[in-house]
Amino acid sequence: MEPFFPPVHWDGHADTTHSRRDCHMDRRTAILTATATLLAGAKVRAQGDPKRAGTVKSNVEYASVGGKSLRLDVHLPTGKGPFPAIVLVHGGGFTGGAKGGYTGELARHLARNGFVAFDIDYRLMRDLGPGASLPKAIAAAQEDLARAFDFVISESKTFGIDPDRVAVGGGSAGAITSLLATYGPDRMKRRPKAVVGLWGGMYGQESAIQRGDPPMLLVHGTADKTVAFALSEAIVAAARKVGVEAVLMRVENGGHTLPLNQRYQGRTIAESVTDFLKQQLK
């Protein structure tokens, strides 16, 4: 089933009225606009112990779909496992972006702090052939995240991870994918232990969040014009209503794709993500 997304204002806020519907963009154009910013260029300060960063296994195939090889990079810490782990999904509006950029920086940071981080590629709209649409690309991204998650769990001994301590997360389109694949109506069969969503949203599907779903950390700038801050507020409200643990880092006046070394209440965003994962994956 293709996900439904409500109309969106030019400022990125979801519409909840009917009288001003003619003022809104076409739904497909709106969602493309709301997720088109690539997660690239932000740098993570070298936090954690650099000696803990181990090896990187690049371009490991986790699935093949329609003749396209789907690959991921594995960032390994030093030391003896089994380690907690996270599967990271890059942004790019479901039309661009790639592993190794923003999510690669976050993966290296997490490896320095004792996590195995899997930085994945997935099918984009251009990979879906003639007639591809944004809703189909969003659905394909969720399917590929599920494939990557299944691969990570099945190869847990190979990578030295604890299969019961694996999270998912990402930024922008990657956050949308992680949130919908975990909490949406067409969720992954295997359940992550926690979710990190950086400036993402669920676009009206928050009601699918259920009691017993995994805890989440959301980070969002209040001045985000690409993915509205109100979308994170809606997720948190729906989660708390059913007793799901939800932490929202409200970055005042922050825009889209915040630098991971930006400070929030005395900690950088990268440090806060690490703290959350250490707590949830212990």
**Mean pLDDT, rounded, for 252-260:** 95
Residues whose CB is less than 8 angstroms from the CB of residue 44 and which lie 6 or more positions away in sequence, other chains included: 105, 106, 108, 109, 260, 261, 270
Q: Which residue has the tokens 């944004």?
A: 134
pLDDT digits (tens, 9 = 90+) for 190-242: 999 999 999 999 999 999 999 999 999 999 999 999 999 999 999 999 999 99
Of the pLDDT bands very low, low, confident and very high (cuts 50, 70, 90), residue 4 is very low
Pair of tokens at residue 148: 């990557």
Residues of the chain with pLDDT > 90, as a percent, come to: 79
pLDDT digits (tens, 9 = 90+) for 110-169: 999 999 999 999 999 999 999 999 999 999 999 999 999 999 999 999 999 999 999 999
**Mean pLDDT, rounded, for 52-77:** 93
Write the DSSP symbol of residue 79: S
Mutual orientation of helices 134-154 and 27-34 as an angle, nearest 10°? 50
Q: What distance in Å separates the CA atoms of residue 38 and residue 24, rounded to the nearest whole number? A: 24
What average pLDDT does the chain have?
A: 86
Q: Give me the pLDDT at residue 54, please.
A: 73
Of the pLDDT bands very low, low, confident and very high (cuts 50, 70, 90), residue 18 is very low
Contact by Cβ (8 Å): 281, 167: yes
